[in-house]
Structure 1
Amino acid sequence: MKITVIAPYTFGYIDVLVDKIAEGSNVTVEFIDISTIKFEYTSVLQRGKNFLLKNLLNRNLKREHRMRVLSNRLSQNPEQDVILVVRPDVLDEPVLAFLRTRAKKVISYYYDSINNIPEKQNLLAYFDEVYSFEKADVKKFGLKFITNFIPVDEPDNFANEKGVFHISSYDSRSKIIVDVARQLEKFEYPYNFVVKSGKALDSKYLKVITEYVDCKEVLQLMKRSDVILDVQKEHQEGLSFRVFEALGFDKKLITTNEDVRNYDFYNPENILIVDRENPVVIKSFLRNEYVPVPKSIKDKYRRDAWIQEVLGI
């Protein structure tokens, strides 16, 4: 089976999915990370030309270059059995149409809600199947539902240190994160709250980084905690990767996502749901032991199960 996966930078989550696809027997997979297709201006004049094109004609030489390189790579490959596109909104529509000439089946996984990226609503017709982790989008637009996945297969049991871990971009969620940090300090419970920001922040509760962290590095940081804090984006109900990282590595979870109670792995001993406007951390939740989730349930959310559902392999 010949498979091509096309995606922008996704913090390493699609990379580890491709790694697992490649383990399949009689499978060849190519991953095209379009964020690695670089464009360099040849002159100051070209830079100025691109500025004018973007502002006057809504054109972008960098994006057009990426689309040409992508199309050329696809043209050189034999017909694929499946092309899987993550974040199709980063591709031009003529390229999306071209994909249909290069594969027997073209699938998309909507990596974010349509509320957050509205232009994805207009791209549905380019795909044979569209999957989403957002139940509201599935119902409204007739998509196929699938959750995110546990990103790596590692031993379920390893030594946990006491502490709450969180990592995200600095945005409207950060107020909630700071509210939780203040409560943890009162409990004298350790925490490591990391936010990515392009500017310095004056906060004793947040550790600021300037570069995105790959998911494998995140998992190493998680190992030094026993609780994960998950604060969902606004206008998103689908479960984030934080939920599945906590599930896969036997971590307790504090989350603002109320929909988590509707999943078969939910256990109030392991998962504390807090209000976005007034998050209240319960001290006994931190103190109580984690209740192991049966392997039969966890296996439903591993990469193997995701690949079987979406790609049929």
Structure 2
Amino acid sequence: MKKILIIMHNYAEIPTLIRKNLDDLGYENVDFIFYAEEKFRYKNMAQKVKNLYRKTILKDKSYKDQLRKEFIKRTLLEKAERLPHYDVILMLNTDFFSDEFIRIIKTKTKKLVGNHWDGLSRTPAIYSKIKFFDAFYVFDKSDVDEKNKIYFLTNFFFNFNESQKEEIIKQDVFYLGTYVEERFNVLKNISKVFTLKNISQKIILFTWDKREAEGEITFTNQFLSYEENMSHVKSSKALLDLKLKEHNGLSFRFFEALKYHKKLITDNAYVKDYDFYKKENIFIIGEDSEEELKSFVESPYQEIPAEIKNKYSFENWFKTLIS
């Protein structure tokens, strides 16, 4: 079995879920490196004293952030130098890692593979890093450039074994997202439509700022666990998805809906280009008639053939990256 290293940012429980799915599939020879894994330490007493002076006398809190970034970069470079050789190194969240780090990593493997879960234009620093990779995968078809080894690969659903307990349906539509100003007016408008049509909804937005609820939209500054999020997904008839203007890739919600047999309401019309698209299951805002929204939510989900559905599993995603 191949010896594999995964390098990524440690956030939103994703590494834990990846480990769980790899264990479930029988992958035993996979190591991880995480961005900002070690607790910050001052390099010497002079740094500590200088930070205290700048913070208390100059009211400058940015110096410690600068030191923290330097510490992360230094510890990552030290780790990279000590690494053994791997058959494949897979790097996610590539924009977090320095060119110097990636250059060293490339010497530690036969094949260096990148995967980006966002539009390239949202993280322009990534463009200069793609040249280091033997293959680089993106989820937006418009970012594909096979001449420069940039290939298309969608997001996925986790397919590890889990409880088959049936959830009681508590609401018609569920949406969990991060507060993004450009999407907020769209979200408020669709929420009003749900209310007018007696479509029950649970909408939660994450933001660091303390905000009061607006209509049916509630705010939180606490991260929901994966289990909490999936519990809301399972107890809903449909999921809501709103795209960002910078890319046309399909978010993880499309694949959560596919896994759990849920309807989807979205403003991303590019979903019609995918083989799992069925008009009975996916309502496109701005194209499909609002008059049909209530009946869309209440009508039965149309099953997708297993051979299509399984193409979007974690298992298939991972095999594609390491092949």
- Structure-2-length-normalised TM-score: 0.86
Matched, 1:198 2:203: no
Q: Does 1:34 align with 2:42?
A: no
CA contact (8 A) 1:18 1:31 kept: no
Structure 1's unaligned 5+ residue stretches are: none
Counterpart in 2 of 1:177?
Answer: 187
Contact 2:6–2:30, Cα closer than 8 Å, also in 1: yes
Q: CA, structure 1 residues 81+280, in 2 after alignment: closer, same or farther (shift >3 Å)?
A: farther
Change (3 A) 1:143 1:216: farther
Q: Distance in 2 between matches of 1:139 and 1:160?
A: 45
Secondary structure of 2:115's counterpart equals: strand
**What residue in structure 1 maps to residue 281 of structure 2?**
270
Offset, 1:111: 1.7
Contact 2:80/2:101 (<8 A) preserved: no
Residues 126-161 of structure 1 show CA distances to partners (whole Å, capped at 9, x for unaligned) of 111101111111148551110000124447893451
* Residue type of the alignment partner of 2:155: N
- Go from structure 1 to structure 2 and tell me whether the alpha carbon gap of 1:156 and 1:263 turns closer, same or farther (over 3 Å shift): farther
Q: Which secondary structure does the structure 2 equivalent of 1:106 belong to?
A: strand
Helix, strand or coil for the counterpart of 2:236?
Answer: coil
SS in 1 for 2:176: strand
Hey, what's the Cα distance between the residues in 2 that align with 1:75 and 1:107? 19
- Is contact 1:156-1:248 (8 Å) kept? no
Q: Does the CA-based 8 Å contact 1:254-1:271 persist in structure 2? A: yes
Distance change (3 Å), C-alpha of 1:240 and 1:10: farther
CA contact under 8 A between 2:271 and 2:277: conserved in structure 1? Answer: yes
Deviation, 1:75, is: 3.5
Say if 1:47 and 1:244 are closer, same or farther in 2 by CA, change over 3 A: farther
Return the match for 1:134 from 140, 145, 170: 140
Written as runs of structure 1 = structure 2, the 5 A alignment for 1:46-85 is 46=51, 60-85=66-91
**1:116 aligned onto 2:127:** no
Q: Distance in 2 between matches of 1:139 and 1:280?
A: 40
Q: Report the counterpart of residue 147 of structure 1 in structure 2.
A: 154
Contact 2:86/2:109, CA 8 A, preserved across alignment: yes
User: What does residue 92 of structure 1 align with?
Assistant: 98
Aligned length: 308
Larger Rg: 2
CA separation in 1, counterparts of 2:277 and 2:101? Answer: 41
Report the CA distance shift for 1:71/1:19 in structure 2 as closer, same or farther (over 3 A).
farther
Q: How big is each residue's C-alpha offset from its partner over 1:103-122, in whole Å with a ceiling of 9 and x where there is no partner?
A: 22111101211111111111
Say whether the 8 Å CA contact 1:160–1:226 is kept in structure 2. no
RMSD: 2.8
Q: Note if 1:310 corresponds to 2:321.
A: yes
Identical-residue share of aligned pairs (%): 26
Query: Is the 2:159–2:315 contact (alpha carbons within 8 Å) kept by the matching residues of 1?
Result: no
2:132 and 2:108 mapped to 1: Cα distance?
13
Q: What's the offset of the Cα at 1:207?
A: 1.4
Q: Structure 2 CA distance, aligned partners of 1:127 and 1:53? A: 36
Alignment partners' CA distance in 2, 1:111 and 1:265: 20
Instruction: Name the residue aligned to 1:7.
Output: 8
Identify if the C-alpha distance between structure 1 residues 214 and 275 changes in structure 2 by more than 3 Å, giving closer, same or farther. Answer: farther
CA gap 1:214/1:5 in 2 versus in 1, 3 angstroms: farther
TM superposition score normalised by structure 1: 0.88
Alpha-carbon separation, structure 2, partners of 1:39 and 1:190: 45
Aligned counterparts of 1:45 and 1:280: Cα–Cα separation in 2: 64
SS of the counterpart of 2:120? Answer: coil
CA–CA separation in structure 1 for the residues paired with 2:291 and 2:256: 22
